[in-house]
Amino acid sequence: MDLPNLPKLIDLSCVKTDIVMEDLRAMVALAKKHRFICCFAMPCYTAWLIEQLKDDQDIQVGGAVGFPSGADLTEAKMLTAERFVAAGCGELDMVINVGALKNRDYAMVSRDLEQVKAAAGERTLKVILEVACLTDDEIRKGSELAVRAGAAYVKTGTGWAKQPTTVEHIELIRDTIGDDAKIKAAGGIRTLRDIERMVAAGCSRFGIGIKSARNILKEAGLEA
């Protein structure tokens, strides 16, 4: 791997329930130091995050849509996406309607995806499957629907699930979508070895919390 450019594979995230301002400030400081490609906060802090990074044009701010279940009304997801676009988010990570996918209500899933994609416009849209809650067949179907709706990335999870993303998840998604979209992994990625194995399997972006990101940077020799 090109270790000096490792931060360009990582979206730093502060998207857990108990995030406080100390965590957000630490994320901004780490992002500025290492020039991570993107940062995510929970929706109520996204405008603050944009303000903190407004002078750092090489660091995107992403918007979290539908966290963590994806079961919000489509209209609510659309409004969130529109607000994020207007505020200046460069990327949107949207949770698929996990329950509808498991119910095989593919029409509902597709409408949800298509309307949020329309609200996102030209912004990069990543669709989160939450693979820990899905069977292999459900992962395949969710990946297909995400790509059909215009997602730039199929993302494995929100980071809220108890089970981690695995290399096998990456391989399954890559086998399903080929080169029609990219893959972002999130959830339980703790080591540089995790990243190396997932890159080899076809993953090109990672969503990682600040504690794990700092530890991975230390492994790579990029952080004291």
Give the per-residue SS3 of 40-65: EECHHHHHHHHHHCCCCCCCEEEEEE
Active site residue 155: yes
Task: Supply the mean pLDDT for the chain.
Answer: 97
Q: Is the pLDDT of residue 1 over 90?
A: no
With bands split at pLDDT 50, 70 and 90, how would you rate the model's confidence at 133?
very high
Q: What is the pLDDT, as a whole number, of residue 104? A: 98
pLDDT of residue 62: 98
Alpha-carbon span 86 to 201, nearest angstrom: 35
| Cβ atoms 78, 115 nearer than 8 A | yes
Q: What percent of the chain stands above pLDDT 70?
A: 100
The pLDDT of residue 111: 98
What is the structure's pLDDT at 143? 98
Q: What is the mean pLDDT of residues 124-153?
A: 98
pLDDT at 224 > cutoff 90: no
Rounded mean pLDDT of 38-57? 97
Q: Which residue is catalytic, options 11, 72, 77, 93? A: 93
21-34 vs 210-219: helix crossing angle, rounded to 10: 30
Helix-helix angle 21-34:43-52, to 10 degrees: 40
Statement: residue 223 has pLDDT above 90: yes
The stretch 177-202 carries a mean pLDDT of 98
